[in-house]
Structure formats: structure tokens, C-alpha cells
Structure 1
């Protein structure tokens, strides 16, 4: 299988807002962790979808919500995260990111992470609070699509995730850890035995 790990750039002025949203640890520390494909492949071979566990010669194990908190430092469970299937995605980007994507930047309800890379390369000097918040949301969206809940392409992220860091303080009170774990389990059960060339989900959590 093919594994891609994203190394994201980050301005120091954005860090306080990431911590405010509960993404400080995963956005700063975990984003620099290297993936080890041989180790991940061994784990995938031991996964049993019927029990959501890994079957090793001497033990049966799985990933728990406590593991997600310990390894990724994500906020604890409070308010559930619900998906949003429909919306004016261009207007949402303009409102929360300050940039309007072109048709080439979108794949239906997903936006290419390259769009975020290109538009949010460097925070302007003496940037206003509004701009800093836009950069923080863009970085959280990059982390979500590149690390926490990437699809198999690992170069796009669903824009429904942009709704949740609308208010950074409110984002910290949402159930990110259960959402990340459920997403990973779904990807494992869907793809692990189908000889796919890539797999979605948080592979750094799997590796940890």
C-alpha cells in the first residue's frame, strides 16, 4: 500500500489558536511524525473486521478512545460531530477562509489540499485577527484531511469539516477523538482485505 505523510508549515502566531481549538498537539507535534509503511502493513494483515481487533500470535488488541486522546491529544468527547452533506461550499470557503475556490480546486464537496497549501503559505506581517483565524481554520482543515481523516487519495478534504472550527473555542468541545477512531475503523474494515494500493484514516494513530 502507498502511504503519504504531510509535513505542514505553521506560523508561530497561529499556534495559540490551534491550542484554543484543541488541535495544538496534533497540529504541531504529530504532523512531523514519520510513517513506517512496513510496520503499518504488518498491522493491516492482522486486522479482523468482524471484531474490530488485531489478532496477534499471543494477544488480541484494538485501538481505544483513550489511545486516541493519549497519542493525538484530541479533545475529549462532549458534543457530537455531525456530517453536513449539502451546502454552498464556495461561499463557505469565502466566509471562513477568505478565498473562493475555482472549479479546478474542488472535487464535488471536497477541496484539494493544494489549494490550502497555495493560499496559506505565509501569514502577512501584522495580520488582523480575522486573517489569523482564517489561517488557523485552513491549518485545521489541512490537519483533518492530511492526518486525522484523510481519504485514500490523501490530497483532498471534505469541506463539511470546515463547519466545525467556525468557532475555535466551540471546536474544542466536540467529539473529535470518537470521530477519528470511527473513521479509521471504517476504512480498515472497508479496505484492509481488498488489496488496495492506499488506505484512508489516521495511519499515525494506527502506527502509534
Structure 2
């Protein structure tokens, strides 16, 4: 079975808040009462606080490999699980009921017109931004600048549109264009009084399902979607303390009386919800019974700084030293 390794992820927490050199969130400085009110009316205010400093790429990669297109679910050793609308509502606290939408396909000229009209920027500024973005897109850094400028001028509606556009594309509809935002999403915020009518949570879930579908393809090496939700769901339903890693990931020999058997969990890492690397072949030579006395926890000289680990003498992993316990 082909294993692609750890996938590239797209996580924009610092960029979302516009963290500057003094570690101060620029977004919050232009987060006026009106802009906050529009975000709250849309039901998207929780996205401002649903923040992980980072995401676990290895864990997300492992889960994406067991996603099945036909059932929209993860196939785990004990059965199927999936991210549900209840999970979205409970973890993100954004609305899962309401209207769906269909995005238009915009040309660069159409994108220029809508940005000029709805965000209050000049045509020259937009033309330069689209040129730099190589299509009907706008960079998130440019949108943050627009939010600041419109807020300073008191053009609160235009600031709110730019803010909401940037927010949804860096969170619930985060794609693989890195910092580029599709201008077509701006159509969702033309009528700010109606932003609360959309089923943001349901649409976010459909978007994440689609990103997981793409991630299952053999040549895909990255994953998009709202990975904060993905990671929060794993933490909620598959806590990491389900097993003692020091014990379960021990690799070596175990024995019962004179029966000696290899214990090689590195061949079934997916069972521990971890990324499966190419395992070594099982060892051919069984060590003398005198070397297999007990299983003990001790520091691993070959992995400084890793803390305690379980080690076995003469086992499949020849780097490990120590003794292995007899199984009664």
C-alpha cells in the first residue's frame, strides 16, 4: 500500500488576526462595533475565538487516509465515524440551518467591478491586486489593509464586507490557494442584512467533505478545509489518552515460558491513529531466552529528549536495549 507521508496543511491563525511584529492582532484594532455586529448577525463570531496555535499534520494525514468517499466517513478498526452537523454546531457554534448558495464564476474584469463597487477601492488598486494574484482573487493581506482603511474612513459596510470575505475564506472555506481569496465569495455579503440566512455550518461541512475527498487521491499531498474543526473533532471523539504510548508502542520481544514472539506495533500504526511508515521485515533470529528477562521502562539513548519509552532486548528494532517481560 502506498503511503504518501505527512500532508501539507493550510492553517492561517496568525494571518487571520493579522499578527504584527509586536504580536498584536491588527484585525481587532479595526474590529468596530458595526463590523462585530455584522459578524455576529451572520453567526460567525465564534470563528474569531476557535483557534489552535497549530494543527497536528501527522494526525490529520492519518485520518484523511481512512476517509471513504462512498460513505463520507472514516473507517476505523472498531467501525465507522464521521464529522456530523451536530459536531459542527457543538464545536464551532455556527448555524447549520438556513440557505445554501452557488458561487458564480467570475472573470478578472467582473471581479474588478465587484471589488470596486462593494469595497470602495479604486480600479487601479484592484487591477494591480488581481495582477499580483494571477486571477480573480485578492490576497488576505490586501483585504486586511482594505478593512483598516475603510474602518478609518467610517465606511463601515465596506469594511464589514471585506472583513467577512476574509474571515470565511481563512476559516470555514479555507482552500489550497494559500493566502489568495476568491472574489466570487464576496457575493455572499452584498446584502449585509441577510448574512444570517445562510447555513454556514452545513456548507462548511460539505466543503470539508470535498477536501477530504481530494485528499484521498493518490497523488494529492495536501489538504484544505477548516482543519480546526477536523482537529477538534478528533480530540473530542478520539482522545489521545486511549492508550499508554510508552507501553503500546514498545517494540521488541515478549515471551511466555519458552515461547518467544516478536511484538512489532510499528507495522500497525494506523490502529493507534498514527501515520503508517514503511515497516521493517519481522526479525528472523530469535535471541537467547536469557536475554529476555523482563520489560522495563528506561530512557532511550538513541532518542535524546524523548523521555521515557519502553524498550526490549534483541528485538525487531536493533537500536533498542533493555529487557522484555515474560507474559504470564
TM-score (norm 2): 0.57
Question: Judging changes above 3 Å, is the alpha-carbon distance between structure 1 residues 70 and 47 closer, same or farther for their aligned structure 2 residues?
Answer: same
Count of aligned pairs: 204
Q: Is the 8 A contact 1:150 1:201 kept in 2?
A: yes
How far apart, CA to CA, are the structure 2 residues paired with 1:124 and 1:188?
A: 37
Q: CA deviation at 1:73?
A: 2.3
- The unaligned stretches of length 5 or more in structure 1 are none
Aligned partner of 1:184 in structure 2 is 208
Q: Partner residue of 1:165?
A: 189
Distance 1:179 1:157 in 2: 17
Other structure's SS at 1:148 match? coil
CA RMSD of aligned residues (A): 2.2
Q: Equivalences for 1:2-151 in 2 at 5 Å?
A: 2-6=8-12, 7=14, 8=17, 9-10=27-28, 11-13=30-32, 14-26=35-47, 28-31=48-51, 34-86=54-106, 88-99=110-121, 100=123, 101=126, 102=128, 103-121=130-148, 124-125=151-152, 127-128=153-154, 131-151=155-175
Contact 1:52–1:62 under 8 Å retained in 2: yes
**Pairwise CA distance, 1:21:** 2.1
Determine the C-alpha separation between the residues in 1 that align with 2:193 and 2:42: 5
How far did 1:170 drift?
A: 0.5
Deviation per residue, 1:153-184 (Å, 9 max, x gap): 32212112111122223111112222211111
Identify which of structures 1 and 2 has the higher relative contact order when contacts are C-alpha pairs closer than 8 Å and 6+ apart: 1
The answer to whether the 8 Å contact 2:144/2:163 transfers is no
- Which protein is richer in helix relative to its size? 1
Contact 2:10 2:223 in 1 (8 A): no
Report the structure, 1 or 2, having the larger strand content: 2
Alpha-carbon shift at residue 29 of structure 1 (Å) = 0.7
Q: C-alpha distance in 1, partners of 2:96/2:67? A: 26
Helix, strand or coil for the counterpart of 2:171?
A: helix
C-alpha separation in 1, matches of 2:174 and 2:31? 25
Any idea what SS the aligned residue of 1:120 has? Answer: helix
Deviation, structure 1 residue 186: 1.2
**Consecutive unaligned residues in structure 2, runs of 5 or more:** 1-6, 18-26, 233-328
TM-score using structure 1 length: 0.86
